Structure 1
Amino acid sequence: MMTKYGSRLFDQVFVRSGPIRWLVVGGTLLIAAIAVGAVLMAQNFRERALRNSGRELENTVLMLAHHFDQQLQDFAVIQKDFVDHVRTIGIASAEDYRKRLSGQDIHRLLRSKIEALPYMGGVNVIDAEGNLINSSTAWPAPKANVADRAYFRTFRYAPDAPDVLIEPVHSRISGAWTILIVRKIVGPNGEFMGMVGRGIEPANFEKFFESVVLGEGATISMLHRDGTLLARYPHSGELMGRNFRNGPFSQQRVFGLDHFAGRFVSPVDGEDRLIASHALPHFPILMMATTTRAAALTDWREQIGILISVAASSALAIAGVLIAIVRKLLEQHRLSRERLTLEKQRLDRAVNNMTQGLLLFDAEQRLVVCNQRYIEMYGLSPEVVKPGSSFHDIIAHRSATGSFTGDVDGYVARVLGDIHARNSMVVDTADGRSIHILNEPLADGG
Structure 2
Amino acid sequence: METPNGRETGPQDVAGPALHGPLWLALIAAALIGCVIAATSLLVTNLWDDGTADRARELENLAVTLSEQTARAFQSVGLIQDDLITHVRERDIETRAQLTDAMSTEDVHSRLREKISGLPFIDAVTVIDQTGQLLNFSRYWPIPKVNVSDRDYFLALEGMKGPDIFLSEPVPNRGSGTVTIYLAKRFANSSGRFLGLVLGAMEQSYFERFYGGIRLGHDGMIALIRSDGALLARHPGSAGVPPRDSAVRARTAATVFGTGQMTQLPAGTLDEKARIAAVHPVSDLPLAVVVSDSVAALDVLMWQRATPLIVAAGLLCLTIVLVAWGLGRHLRDERAFAVTQHAMARIDMLTGLPNRLAFAERLSALLNARGGATPFALLYLDLDYFKAVNDTLGHDAGDTMLTELAERIRTMLGPDDFSARLGGDEFAVVLAGVTHEAEATEFAHRLIEGLRTPVHIGLHRIISGCSIGIVMSPRDGAGVAELLKNADLALYRAKTDGRGIARVFVEEMERLVRERREMEVDLQTAWRERQFFLLYQPIVEAESGRIAGFEALLRWRHPERGLVNPTSFIPIAEETGLILPLGAWVLTEACAAATAWPDDLFVSVNLSPIQFRGAEAFRQVRSALESSGLAPSRLEVEITESTLLHEGPMVRATLEQFSEEGITVALDDFGTGYSSLGYLRTLSIGRIKVDRSFIEQVETSPQSLAIVRAIIGLARTLGLRCTAEGVETEGQRRLLTTEGCSHLQGYLLGRPGSAEEALRRACASAA
**Is the CA contact (8 Å cut-off) linking 1:254 and 1:260 kept in structure 2?**
no
**Is the CA contact (8 Å cut-off) linking 2:116 and 2:124 kept in structure 1?**
yes
Residue in 2 aligned with 1:356? none
**Is the CA contact (8 Å cut-off) linking 1:274 and 1:293 kept in structure 2?**
yes
**Is the CA contact (8 Å cut-off) linking 1:126 and 1:195 kept in structure 2?**
yes
CA distance in 1, matches of 2:245, 2:49: 29
Residue in 2 aligned with 1:294? 296
Residue in 1 aligned with 2:186? 184
Residue in 2 aligned with 1:164? 165
Q: Deviations over 1:300-341 (max 9, x none)?
A: 1112321221112222333444555667x98xxxxxxxxxxx
AA matched with 1:69:
A
CA distance in 2, matches of 1:251, 1:141: 39
Deviation at 1:22, TM superposition (A): 5.0
Residue in 1 aligned with 2:266? 265
Aligned CA RMSD, in angstroms, stands at 3.2
**Is the CA contact (8 Å cut-off) linking 1:20 and 1:326 kept in structure 2?**
yes
Q: Deviations over 1:367-402 (max 9, x none)?
A: xxxxxxxxxxxxxxxxxxxxxxxxxxxxxxxxxxxx
Residue in 1 aligned with 2:126? 124
**Is the CA contact (8 Å cut-off) linking 1:124 and 1:196 kept in structure 2?**
yes
AA matched with 1:166:
L
Secondary structure in 2 matching 1:122: strand
Deviation at 1:137, TM superposition (A): 2.0
CA distance in 2, matches of 1:255, 1:33: 42
From 137, 142, 145, the counterpart of 1:135: 137
**Is the CA contact (8 Å cut-off) linking 1:101 and 1:134 kept in structure 2?**
yes
AA matched with 2:175:
I
AA matched with 1:298:
V
Residue in 1 aligned with 2:241? 240
CA distance in 2, matches of 1:141, 1:183: 20
CA distance in 1, matches of 2:296, 2:202: 34
CA distance in 2, matches of 1:254, 1:35: 37
CA distance in 1, matches of 2:73, 2:81: 14
Secondary structure in 1 matching 2:247: coil
Deviation at 1:116, TM superposition (A): 2.3
AA matched with 2:267:
S
From 49, 52, 62, the counterpart of 1:50: 52
Deviation at 1:248, TM superposition (A): 9.4
CA distance in 1, matches of 2:257, 2:274: 22
* Range moving further from structure 2, 102-111 or 119-128: 119-128
CA distance in 2, matches of 1:266, 1:244: 16
Alignment pair present for 1:39 and 2:41: yes
Residues 275 and 199 of structure 1: CA distance in aligned 2, closer, same or farther (over 3 Å): same
AA matched with 1:234:
P
Residue in 2 aligned with 1:150? 152
**Is the CA contact (8 Å cut-off) linking 2:51 and 2:302 kept in structure 1?**
yes
Residue in 1 aligned with 2:213? 211
Correspondence 1:306-321 to 2 at 5 A: 306-321=308-323
CA distance in 1, matches of 2:274, 2:106: 55
Residue in 2 aligned with 1:112? 114
Residue in 2 aligned with 1:28? 30
Correspondence 1:372-383 to 2 at 5 A: none
Secondary structure in 2 matching 1:240: coil
Q: Deviations over 1:99-135 (max 9, x none)?
A: 2211111111111211221332221111222111212
* Range moving further from structure 2, 196-205 or 286-295: 286-295
Residue in 1 aligned with 2:228? 226
Residues 160 and 219 of structure 1: CA distance in aligned 2, closer, same or farther (over 3 Å): same
* Range moving further from structure 2, 20-29 or 274-283: 20-29
**Is the CA contact (8 Å cut-off) linking 2:229 and 2:252 kept in structure 1?**
no
Secondary structure in 2 matching 1:291: strand
**Is the CA contact (8 Å cut-off) linking 2:125 and 2:137 kept in structure 1?**
yes
**Is the CA contact (8 Å cut-off) linking 2:278 and 2:292 kept in structure 1?**
yes
Residues 248 and 326 of structure 1: CA distance in aligned 2, closer, same or farther (over 3 Å): farther
Gaps (5+ residues) in structure 1?
1-11, 331-446
Residues 244 and 253 of structure 1: CA distance in aligned 2, closer, same or farther (over 3 Å): farther
**Is the CA contact (8 Å cut-off) linking 1:226 and 1:255 kept in structure 2?**
no
CA distance in 2, matches of 1:75, 1:162: 17
Residue in 2 aligned with 1:417? none
Deviation at 1:259, TM superposition (A): 3.3
Deviation at 1:227, TM superposition (A): 1.6
Deviation at 1:281, TM superposition (A): 2.4
Deviation at 1:20, TM superposition (A): 7.2
User: TM-score of the superposition, structure 1-length normalised?
Assistant: 0.63
AA matched with 1:224:
R
CA distance in 2, matches of 1:196, 1:258: 34
Residue in 1 aligned with 2:726? none
* Range moving further from structure 2, 26-35 or 95-104: 26-35
Residue in 2 aligned with 1:282? 284
Secondary structure in 1 matching 2:284: coil
Deviation at 1:23, TM superposition (A): 5.1
Residue in 1 aligned with 2:203? 201
Secondary structure in 1 matching 2:121: helix
CA distance in 1, matches of 2:120, 2:276: 36
CA distance in 1, matches of 2:244, 2:280: 18
Secondary structure in 2 matching 1:181: strand
Secondary structure in 2 matching 1:259: coil
Secondary structure in 2 matching 1:121: strand
CA distance in 2, matches of 1:218, 1:31: 39
Structure showing greater relative contact order (alpha-carbon pairs closer than 8 Å, 6 or more residues apart):
1
* Range moving further from structure 2, 202-211 or 27-36: 27-36
Residues 270 and 113 of structure 1: CA distance in aligned 2, closer, same or farther (over 3 Å): closer
Residues 135 and 175 of structure 1: CA distance in aligned 2, closer, same or farther (over 3 Å): same
CA distance in 1, matches of 2:299, 2:268: 21
From 59, 65, 73, the counterpart of 2:75: 73
**Is the CA contact (8 Å cut-off) linking 1:57 and 1:289 kept in structure 2?**
yes
CA distance in 2, matches of 1:258, 1:70: 25
AA matched with 1:271:
K
Residue in 2 aligned with 1:400? none
**Is the CA contact (8 Å cut-off) linking 1:254 and 1:277 kept in structure 2?**
no
**Is the CA contact (8 Å cut-off) linking 1:258 and 1:278 kept in structure 2?**
no
Secondary structure in 1 matching 2:47: helix
**Is the CA contact (8 Å cut-off) linking 1:78 and 1:113 kept in structure 2?**
yes
Secondary structure in 1 matching 2:263: strand
Residues 96 and 250 of structure 1: CA distance in aligned 2, closer, same or farther (over 3 Å): closer
**Is the CA contact (8 Å cut-off) linking 1:98 and 1:133 kept in structure 2?**
yes
CA distance in 1, matches of 2:286, 2:150: 23
Residue in 1 aligned with 2:92? 90
Residues 286 and 244 of structure 1: CA distance in aligned 2, closer, same or farther (over 3 Å): farther
Q: Deviations over 1:125-148 (max 9, x none)?
A: 112221112122221122311011
Q: Deviations over 1:235-281 (max 9, x none)?
A: 345x6333576249864424554834222422254433223322112
CA distance in 2, matches of 1:204, 1:288: 17
Q: Percent identity?
A: 29
How many residues are aligned here? 316
Q: Deviations over 1:47-84 (max 9, x none)?
A: 33333333333332222222212332123111101111
**Is the CA contact (8 Å cut-off) linking 2:36 and 2:313 kept in structure 1?**
yes
**Is the CA contact (8 Å cut-off) linking 2:182 and 2:199 kept in structure 1?**
yes
